[in-house]
Amino acid sequence: MKVNSTELQNNFGKYLMLAGQEEIIITRNGTEIAKLTAMKEATVTNIDGTNTVHENASDYGYGGKKATYEEFLQLQQKSEERYEYIDGEIYWLASPRTAHQIAITELLVIFYNTFQGKDCTPMVAPYDIELRRTPENINIVQPDLMIICDLEDHLNENDYYKGVPKLVVEVLSKSTQRKDLIKKLDLYMSCGVNEYWTVNPDNQEVTIYHFEDKNISHYTTFKKSETAQSFIFEELRAEIDRVFRL
């Protein structure tokens, strides 16, 4: 697929998702200038025969069978490691870096102060969120940070939340951005999340996506010296310099 640079800039989220399916050639004044392709991840086979995609690996080669949801649950019960399960693949969650933790801590404080005494509750990982594309397609993710506005209405008998957060936040790294910007963006958009924040410590930017009717309706990237503004919560703002204070 070919797309000009202006179209790419105006619809970056859309083409990030498409890059997971095909190569995107970027043009300027009719001349090919760049290429947008999917990043690669590595898959290992566990003792029980399931496959795990390791986020912190540099190569990609998913050649084994996909794990069933039951196999994922068995692995989760046997291991003290943290995992996510997205579209039939198991992802091991590596230990986060310092910049990641500082960004999440700062955002959690901002979110907590914003929603204190209100109906919506900030929650932070590790906290399993179950999202279903269809009744049979079950996904388990652990967003870095989320805003839940129907907590009491969707707690099951075991005190697990079974609803859909209004807003989720993921902090990117070079090894996880393909999953966060393509797989998770599509999952959140398809399953009823209203707003998605991607936080990039490397370039110190926050991009906010607003989802409507299972599509990206708006998105904005906020940079240093700017203040990120939520699309769905007028009172929710975050100074970029504070989020990336190191």
Structure tokens at 141: 């993710």
Structure tokens at 71: 């196999």
Residues 84 and 105 in one domain: no
Only one residue has tokens 């209203």, namely: 194
Residues 76 and 197 in one domain: no
**Domain limits for position 69:** 42-92
Residues 171 and 224 in one domain: yes
Lowest mean pLDDT among 21-25, 59-63, 127-131, 189-193: 59-63
Q: Residue 38 has what pLDDT?
A: 64
Q: Residue 246 has what pLDDT?
A: 78
Closest among 27, 60, 49 to 182, alpha carbons compared: 60
pLDDT at 109 over 80: yes
Cis bond upstream, residue 126 (ω within 30) = yes
Structure tokens at 226: 């700017």
Tell me how far apart the alpha carbons of residues 133 and 41 are, in angstroms, rounded to a whole number: 23
Domain count across the chain: 3
The one-letter amino acid code at 155 reads L
pLDDT at 195 over 90: yes
Q: Which of 92, 108, 124 is the last residue of a domain?
A: 92
Q: Specify which residues 31 forms β-bridges with.
A: 28
Residues 68 and 181 in one domain: no
Residues 144 and 231 in one domain: yes
Q: What is the CATH number of the domain that holds 193?
A: 3.90.1570.10
Residues 179 and 223 in one domain: yes
Helix and strand element counts for the chain (H, E): 7, 17
Write the pLDDT tens digit of every residue in 125-169: 999 999 999 999 999 999 999 999 999 999 999 999 999 999 999
